[in-house]
């Protein structure tokens, strides 16, 4: 089945550790996105990538890093520089047409908790 | 500047009632998309609808309907005869052409809908 997978579903991290969240899609979409969701708030864009080997910072990129070595994969690393990393992280992908992205499809999310 | 406002933080209704979720947006672009997503307790966002800025025709899909009015910059979502399974957080979102063609979505804060049996 086509879709987006994220792993792990739950992740616990000690302060000072880097952790990497996985995001894979088999929808053949060029664009991929990482969002952060805090309780009672909407989604905020961390990083996005429109093509392999290229990515741009979103609104809240500080303390995060990404890579896009393959079209299917867009892993997100939460570094120790991120001061408040406890949140729900959602990955999405979308196909572009005429400069506008069609609907974005979301993965099931990873809930990160810093202990 | 682009912005999406969902003024209703939480709504509670009894099953079979109709409910309307409000969405107001701001954009300087003439070309844009509007979206509604549903986020059930499981957390995954489920796409509901995309509306092109040039198409103001209202749309109905089963118990769901959407009212797009450019004159008031609103894109409201109505659920008719609500059911318990409709309980979720609903997000309205905007995507502009001028966002360097990134397809970046700007989300509202979300409206939590609780449908009681």
pLDDT in tens, B40-71: 998 899 999 988 888 888 888 899 999 999 99
Strand B3-5, strand B46-52: pairing:
unpaired
Residue A27 predicted with pLDDT over 60: yes
Radius of gyration of chain B (CA): 14
Contact (CB<8Å) B44/A108: yes
pLDDT exceeds 80 at position A35: yes
Residue A100: predicted pLDDT: 60
Antiparallel, parallel or unpaired: β B10-14 and B32-39: unpaired
Full DSSP string of A34-45: EEEE-TT--EEE
More confident residue, B100 or B59: B59
As given in the structure block, the two tokens for residue A28 are 């053949």
Least Cα distance to B68 among B97, B101, B32, B104 occurs for B32
Q: Judge whether B108 and B92 are in contact, CB under 8 Å.
A: yes
B106 vs B104, residue with greater confidence: B106
Take residue A88 and report the two structure tokens written for it.
């729900």
Number of C-alpha atoms within 13 angstroms, CB side, residue B44? 13
- Cα-based distances in Å from B21 to A42, B82, B111, B112: 15, 12, 7, 10
Q: Which residue in B has a C-alpha nearest to residue A38's C-alpha?
A: B109
Hey, how many other C-beta atoms are within 10 angstroms of the C-beta on B68? 20
Q: What is the pLDDT of residue B60?
A: 86
pLDDT surpasses 60 at B100: no
- In B11-70, the residues whose Cβ lies within 8 Å of chain A are 31-33, 35, 37, 42-47, 50
pLDDT of residue B14: 97
**Cβ within 8 Å, pair B47-A45:** no
Confidence grade of residue A42 (pLDDT, cut at 50, 70, 90)? confident
A97-110 per-position pLDDT tens digit: 665 666 789 999 99
Residue B83 above 70 pLDDT? yes
Which residue of A40, A104, A107 is in closest CB contact with B105? A104
Nearest to A109 among B44, B102, B107 (CB): B44
Given a cut of 70, is residue B38 above it in pLDDT? Answer: yes
Q: Is the pLDDT of residue B116 over 90?
A: yes
């Amino acid at each position: 089945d086509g879709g987006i997978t994220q792993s792990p579903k739950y992740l616990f991290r000690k302060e000072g550790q880097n952790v990497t969240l996985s995001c894979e899609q088999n929808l053949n979409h060029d664009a991929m996105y990482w969002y952060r969701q805090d309780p009672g708030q909407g989604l905020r864009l961390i990083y996005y990538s429109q093509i392999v080997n290229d990515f741009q910072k979103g609104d809240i990129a500080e303390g995060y890093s990404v890579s896009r070595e393959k079209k299917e994969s867009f892993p997100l690393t939460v570094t120790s520089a991120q001061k408040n990393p406890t949140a729900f992280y959602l990955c999405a992908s979308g196909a572009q047409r005429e400069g506008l992205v069609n609907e974005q499809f979301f993965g099931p999310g990873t809930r990160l908790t810093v202990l | 500047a682009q912005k999406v406002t969902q003024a209703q933080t939480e709504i509670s209704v009894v099953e079979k009632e109709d409910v309307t979720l409000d969405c107001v947006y701001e954009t300087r672009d003439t070309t844009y998309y509007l979206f509604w997503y549903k986020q059930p307790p499981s957390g995954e966002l489920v796409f509901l609808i995309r509306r092109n800025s040039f198409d103001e025709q209202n749309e109905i899909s089963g118990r769901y309907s959407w009212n797009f009015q450019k004159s008031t910059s609103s894109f409201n979502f109505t659920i008719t005869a609500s059911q318990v399974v409709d309980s979720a957080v609903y997000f309205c979102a905007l995507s502009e052409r001028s966002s360097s063609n990134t397809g970046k979505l700007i989300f509202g804060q979300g409206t939590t809908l609780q449908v009681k049996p």
